[in-house]
Amino acid sequence: MSLVPIILTNFTSGELSPRLAGRVDVSKYFNGCQCLENFLAQPHGGVARRSGMRFVAQAARHEGRSLLVPYEDASGVGWMLEFAQSANGTGVLRFFTGGGLALNAAGLPMQLATPYKEEHLDGLRFVQDRYSLVLSHPEFAPRRLSRTADGGFELSELTFISRPEAWGAGNWPALCCLHEDRLVFAATPKEPFTLWFSRTSQHEDFRLATREVPLDDWDDFEITDSNGDTLSDGKPGDTVLLLAGDTFAKNTALSGVMADGTLCYYRYLGARSVKASTSASLRMTLAATPAATSEIESVRDASGALRTAFWEMFAIGDRIVAEPGDDPLDDDAVEITLSAQRGGRICFLAPRDKLWIGASSGEWTVSGSSLNTPVTPGGIKANREGTFGASKVPPCQAGPAILYVQRSGKKVREMAYRLESDAYTSRDITLLAAHLGEAGITQLAYVQEPDPMLYCVRADGVLLAMTYLPEQDVCAFARIVTNGAVEAACAVFNQSLYRDELWLVVRRNVTINGQSVGRRFIETLEPGFPETAQDTSAAFFVDAGMSYSGPAVRELTGLAHLAGSKVQILADGAVLPEQTVAPDGSIRLDREASQVHAGLGYASVLRPMRLEFAGSRGSAQTRSKRIIEVGVRLYRTLGGKVGPDLTRLEPLLYRSSADKMDGPPALFTGDKSVRFPQGWSTDGVLTLVQDQPLPMTLLLMAPTLALNE
């Protein structure tokens, strides 16, 4: 028998598939885990216990799901919008900001009626257009959510110029995005591979071919002041000179000057016609009621109002529909249909240097026809980049890549430009953790600050968290498991905290009148344990939790949403015994405390891959061995246990004679060593657990093996 020291320096491969249990020849094996639950891999290599979920409010409706949508206003303040179905069966939109429900001037929660019921939420898509939100759904005309002068919101239908003929009842665009200052819609039910680009900078104008005012033939006819008001504005009595052979008829235009000196153009819509002879000029008169052959309807009436039955008014630079056969301008609207070889539909739009498109049958890019040129009616190119296919789950933009869910709903792929192949390719980033997506991925949310993290909502209510730094070869999945089911997630930037904030809809079971009933809560994932914290009083490691800070008290209220549930309690940094919340939402502490966190407990579990040591006699795999001691390097940690499995755990001890007896031990940074009798086996497996509401960051594990020679 020989003693073999082993060191595990990082966990940047995250939780790995059980199918990799034999791949000790792969470098990522040594950085991976069999189980990484409620721990998050850090870019530096260690793992930190994930923070708790803070209760914000009851969801709009406990009997149905909600959709969370991020929004950022002109001042940079982040809002979370909750779309749901109200108790009376209509759609409702609620607003959250500053960590709670937003209130109107009357002190009541802000909310709006919407046409989107629960069955419509999965198909609702959105894009922020400056300081408003454009919403699309295949069953409803596109809408715009805008701010109002009093600080509220309003929801209205978009008013399009030359709305595409294909759009209409039951056939509205399912997707929307902004690309090159064009508003892009795509994928109606009847045209699933068609895209519509608005005019550049005119996001509600979808005219395919226009001409810019003034047209070449509009400069010849000028209004002359002939009624004595010193204005050439086209009131009755003003005149227009027609040169010999000129004709003035429908669609002919005049130019005139407004009272403020603005030059305007007027196009005639009436049925009269005035023609000068071929031998002499004619002065045409603008009349209120034309009688003579040389008269035509005045542009304005005597009061100065435009006579819209007979005239259109334009300013310089305005657009009108082009005549048949005229070429469109470069900034005119564009309509394109992808030539898909297989059926299906466009599932997502992702604007980058090109417009990246995910369809159920493959991946595409749409761009200008030449290198580094924008999309124009006369120059547009669609390239098919792959055949993996995408699901309808909206993607996330992460640095230079797009992260999206493959058509099966079980894999997350990374679409990015690869210099080595000079192509846009998609790689499976769940390949080494394929088991984690088997339940189906229903939603993605990407947090950039403080650490890049992709959150994946799973159909069974588990929330996957992937630490994502591809430039450092870090792509580490972990599972966030809570006493309930996560149903929705979105990330919103919190300006006051200088970080992204993850908002969640969580369905939990609570006890009401002795019966277990389902309740949906709006919660936020709390920031990680503060680096500046001097003790554990600021540690928030409970779910659906709330905090109290103030004068020392013995009894706390406000936990009515957890009535009948057993909660963990951290009071002034010390762990108190668990208690069951009373029906009125109160708990009674063992002692007075001034800073208290209480909520549902959860366990954080880390289990590395089977230990491996390649010695002179080969691999340690399948050989009988025994772990006799484990060293761990910790950072700002309290609590925790380590052992061979969940049933045989030894506590990590921190208290010393130097610690005060009436308070918690100080945060520990350094090495701890635990000896435990495991017995001989061929597994060589370790387990680290933290099930108290306390912080834990693991930097290194160093087990010592007794190995039979």
The answer to whether the peptide bond before residue 214 is cis (omega within 30 degrees of 0) is: yes
Q: Are 307 and 288 in contact (CB under 8 A)?
A: no
Q: Residue 1 — pLDDT band, cuts 50, 70, 90? A: low
Radius of gyration from C-alpha coordinates of the chain: 34
CB-count burial class (<10 Å; 0-12, 13-18, 19+) for 57: middle
pLDDT of 441 strictly over 90: yes
The predicted pLDDT at position 367 comes to 95
Mean pLDDT of 647-660: 80
| Amino acid found at 422 | D
pLDDT of 578 strictly over 70: yes
pLDDT of 662 strictly over 70: no
Q: Are 348 and 404 in contact (CB under 8 A)?
A: yes
689-698 tens-digit pLDDT: 999 999 999 9
* Separation CA 452–CA 151 (nearest Å): 32
| Amino acid found at 682 | T
* Separation CA 464–CA 651 (nearest Å): 28
Mean pLDDT of 195-211: 95
| Amino acid found at 643 | G
Buried b (16+ CB within 10 A) or exposed e, 316-329: eeebbebeeeeebb
286-326 tens-digit pLDDT: 999 999 999 999 999 999 999 999 999 999 989 998 888 88
3-state secondary structure of 431: helix
The predicted pLDDT at position 657 comes to 62
| Amino acid found at 180 | E
DSSP state of 390: B
Torsion angles phi and psi, residue 19, rounded to 5: -70, -10
* Separation CA 619–CA 641 (nearest Å): 29
The predicted pLDDT at position 464 comes to 98
Mean pLDDT of 444-464: 95
CB-count burial class (<10 Å; 0-12, 13-18, 19+) for 515: exposed
The predicted pLDDT at position 497 comes to 80
Q: For the chain, what is the mean pLDDT?
A: 92
Least confident of 83-92, 264-273, 651-660: 651-660
Q: Residue 618 — pLDDT band, cuts 50, 70, 90? A: confident
The predicted pLDDT at position 323 comes to 84
Q: What's the first-to-final CA gap in the chain, in angstroms?
A: 5
3-state helix, strand, coil in the chain (%, to 5): 5, 50, 45
Query: How is the chain split into domains, by residue range?
Result: 2-51+604-707, 214-316
Q: Residue 334 — pLDDT band, cuts 50, 70, 90? A: very high
| Amino acid found at 307 | R
The predicted pLDDT at position 661 comes to 64
Counting Cα atoms < 13 Å in the Cβ hemisphere of 469 gives 16
Q: How far is CA 399 from CA 90, 168, 315, 450, in A?
A: 39, 37, 43, 14
Sign of dihedral through CA atoms 122, 501, 427, 11?
A: negative
3-state secondary structure of 273: coil
Mean pLDDT of 537-551: 96
| Amino acid found at 324 | P
pLDDT of 512 strictly over 80: no
* Separation CA 459–CA 481 (nearest Å): 13
Q: Distance of alpha carbon 121 from its chain centroid, rounded?
A: 14
Torsion angles phi and psi, residue 602, rounded to 5: -150, 155
The predicted pLDDT at position 4 comes to 82
Token reading at 680: 């001989």
Mean pLDDT of 155-164: 96
16-39 tens-digit pLDDT: 999 999 998 888 999 999 999 999
71-127 tens-digit pLDDT: 999 888 999 999 999 989 999 999 999 889 999 888 889 999 999 999 999 999 999
> H-helix or E-strand containing 142?
strand 140-147
* Separation CA 400–CA 378 (nearest Å): 28
218-244 tens-digit pLDDT: 878 999 999 988 899 999 999 999 999
Find the length of the chain: 709
Is domain 2-51+604-707 classified as CATH 1.20.1250?
no
User: Residue 555 forms beta bridges with which residues?
Assistant: 588
Own/partner contacts of 678-683, CB < 8 Å, gap of 24 or more, are 678/626, 678/627, 678/628, 678/643, 678/644, 678/648, 679/626, 680/624, 680/625, 680/626, 680/708, 681/624, 681/625, 681/626, 682/621, 682/622, 682/623, 682/624, 682/625, 683/610
User: Residue 381 forms beta bridges with which residues?
Assistant: 367
pLDDT of 459 strictly over 80: yes
pLDDT of 624 strictly over 90: no
Q: What is the DSSP string of 193-226?
A: TEEEEPBTTBTTB--SSEEESSPGGGSS-BEE--
pLDDT of 567 strictly over 90: yes
* Separation CA 78–CA 524 (nearest Å): 13
Q: What is the DSSP string of 255-299?
A: EEE-TTS-EEEEEE-SS--EE--SSS-EEEEEESS--STTEEE-S
pLDDT of 342 strictly over 80: no
Q: Distance of alpha carbon 34 from its chain centroid, rounded?
A: 30
Mean pLDDT of 511-528: 86
